[in-house]
Structure 1
Amino acid sequence: MRTFVRVAERGSLSAVARELGVGQSTITRHLRELEEAIRAPLLSRTTRRVTLTDEGSRYYAHTVQILRLVEQAGDEARGARGAPAGTIRISCTAAFGVLHASRLIFTFQDRNPDIGVDLSLTDERVDLVREGVDIALRLGPLADSALKLRALGQSRRLLVAAPAYLAARGRPTVPRDLSAHEGIRMSNVAGSDTLVLQGPGGERHAAPFGGRLRVDHGLAAREALVAGRGIAPAHRWLVGDLLATGRLEVILPDYSPPPVPLSLLIVPERAGVLRVRLLVDFLAEQIGDIPGIEQLRSGR
């Protein structure tokens, strides 16, 4: 049943075989035995994709609920012995995961030694159900979905540049000065050619923001800033250590880019699993210790 559910979600026998670490012949055998046991075709196979039959769609909906109850029963039995166990699959924004979230996960595992974690770092909006992910840490606004959302807080941003760049190109004093400077832009952020800043009185300023360098990873932007390639709006957690050592400086301190929401997305069917609940609550409690993260009081 577990094999069937993952094939239904991923649409590929080979992908599920890689995920489970078994041969594709094993996946095929599991599916054949399941269909023989219930005496109904569950999947329609083509050369490119595997899809559910009508019987398979109905069976899938019941199977997901059955497996969730099985896992919760196991969690409760283990919990009675005070030892939550199993594996949690997490997707996290890449730079945030490397610099900060990974350390939180280390601490969580120290407290829960029987819980394994599979951490996937990506800035792409992956389909959590399809990829078998339990929860995702995401920065930025999120589209409506069937996933559960737990708002964690806001990530403060600053406008920064290296001292060497400012010495060579001059220091902007008002937002409109930015049009004469090199901007380091994120290629995976829409509208990065315009920089929106909030002024000291809360007023909104929109400044043209160009430049020869665009990157799709926060750590690449960090390296470009240190190398003096230009100016960029940066999360406080991304550059806090560089500001402390003087390798970067804040410019236009009275004008700041709007903060970015930080949220947890949770697959509803996994929300009741004990180890997942433990990690969600731990992250909500600890996330405010990260520099620049303004935690919501309720953690929700």
Structure 2
Amino acid sequence: MDSSDVSLDRMRTFVRVAERGNLSAVARELAVGQSTVTRHLNELEAAIGVPLLSRSTRRVALTEEGRGYYAHCLRILWLVEQAGDEARSMKGAASGKVRVSCTAALGVLHVCQLIFDFQDRHPDITVDLSLDDERIDLVREGVDIALRLGPLTDSAMKLRALGVSRRLLVAAPAYLAAHGRPKTPADLVGQEGLRMSNIAGSDLLVLEGRGGERHAITFGGRFTVDHGLAVREALAAGRGIAPAHHWLVDDLLAAGTVEPILADYSPPPIPLNMLIAPERAGVARVRLLADFLAEQVARIPGIAAASVR
């Protein structure tokens, strides 16, 4: 084989294997057999004339030559997509797939509707939405755009700050009737706290007073869970008190299912950021969705500019 046998399909397969480090995962993602993935890699290496990947029983890793070739492949595949975008823009329509990752509860309750509205404007754009509260390797998973709450450590992505998510303490009227309404932060000690097990330090509740003073209260209870929607259900069922994002309980507050407590104190707001894969930021459909989400995110209850408290 020679360089004329290098195809875009083989390049795409190689790039995804390089990012995921697993042949079977890439086969599932591309909806092909693992033998097809292996064949693409073998044919590409034969055409290039050097080994691009080292394979073991547990993982696949890039060789030194493979690392350089991977960087060139990213650029080539981006140029191909860009050329297609420019050609399609001549008829005024962006198309193709955008892969989005979002915090689960925020995605279910609010981001889905934003995406529906976007697709009504751009009917030829497909959105693959992944909902997960776990921190994932966005590049490895092939994510174009991610919406994330909390501090970030992924330096490989382009960051766009969207604002902060305000929080408040809430509980159901039935719970407060049975356990008493806290009047000061100290009254929270011994109450049934609903905690997120996947948030570090959730056993210590920090509250800020209107005057800027801070209170740290030991916070515990009999129910701990790793999903925001389960906290919402527990609150509605009168199982305890929780620091909740406004967007998580906005409709429950309006219906009187839960109510705010300790109104003069609130948990610090949480940063909301958008991450964009740098090599995908210039792709028209990715850029369109990123701009739309950044503009429309203010529709979500409790999301405010970063400087607002």
Q: Is residue 138 of structure 1 aligned with residue 176 of structure 2?
A: no
Partner of 2:139, secondary structure, is: helix
Give the % identical residues: 75
Cα gap change, 1:100/1:20 in structure 2, threshold over 3 Å: closer, same or farther?
Answer: same
Q: What's the counterpart of residue 6 of structure 2? A: none
One-letter code of the match for 1:220?
A
List gaps (5 residues or longer) in structure 1.
none
Q: Is residue 111 of structure 1 aligned with residue 121 of structure 2?
A: yes
Whole-angstrom distance in 2 between the partners of 1:294 and 1:210: 29
Partner of 1:128, secondary structure, is: coil
Q: What's the counterpart of residue 256 of structure 1? A: 266
Q: Is residue 207 of structure 1 aligned with residue 217 of structure 2?
A: yes
Task: Determine if contact 1:149/1:263 at 8 Å carries over to the other structure.
Answer: yes
Task: Determine if contact 1:35/1:42 at 8 Å carries over to the other structure.
Answer: yes
Whole-angstrom distance in 2 between the partners of 1:244 and 1:21: 45
Partner of 2:273, secondary structure, is: strand
- Please tell me the root mean square deviation across aligned C-alpha atoms, in Å: 1.1
Cα deviation for residue 296 of structure 1 reads 5.3
The number of residue pairs the alignment matches comes to: 297
Q: Is residue 194 of structure 1 aligned with residue 215 of structure 2?
A: no
Which residue, 184, 190, 194 being the options, matches 1:174? 184
One-letter code of the match for 2:71?
A
Whole-angstrom distance in 1 between the partners of 2:200 and 2:46: 50
Q: Is residue 49 of structure 1 aligned with residue 46 of structure 2?
A: no
Task: Determine if contact 2:95/2:124 at 8 Å carries over to the other structure.
Answer: yes
Task: Determine if contact 2:271/2:306 at 8 Å carries over to the other structure.
Answer: no
Task: Determine if contact 1:176/1:208 at 8 Å carries over to the other structure.
Answer: no
Q: What's the counterpart of residue 30 of structure 2? A: 20
Structure 1 stretches of 4+ with a deviation exceeding 4 A read none
- 1:24-76 deviation line (CA, Å, top 9, x unaligned): 11111111111111111111111111111121111111111111111111111
Cα deviation for residue 114 of structure 1 reads 0.6
Which residue, 294, 299, 303 being the options, matches 1:293? 303
Partner of 1:131, secondary structure, is: coil
Task: Determine if contact 2:173/2:258 at 8 Å carries over to the other structure.
Answer: yes
List gaps (5 residues or longer) in structure 2.
1-10
Q: Give the alignment's TM-score, normalised by structure 2.
A: 0.94
Q: What's the counterpart of residue 276 of structure 1? A: 286
Whole-angstrom distance in 2 between the partners of 1:58 and 1:147: 20
Cα gap change, 1:131/1:121 in structure 2, threshold over 3 Å: closer, same or farther?
Answer: same
One-letter code of the match for 2:116?
F
Q: What's the counterpart of residue 68 of structure 2? A: 58
- 1:132-176 deviation line (CA, Å, top 9, x unaligned): 111100011112512110000111101000000000000000000
Q: What's the counterpart of residue 80 of structure 2? A: 70
What is the correspondence of 1:89-128 to structure 2 with a 5 Å cutoff? 89-128=99-138
Task: Determine if contact 1:287/1:295 at 8 Å carries over to the other structure.
Answer: no
Task: Determine if contact 1:165/1:230 at 8 Å carries over to the other structure.
Answer: yes
Whole-angstrom distance in 2 between the partners of 1:144 and 1:128: 8
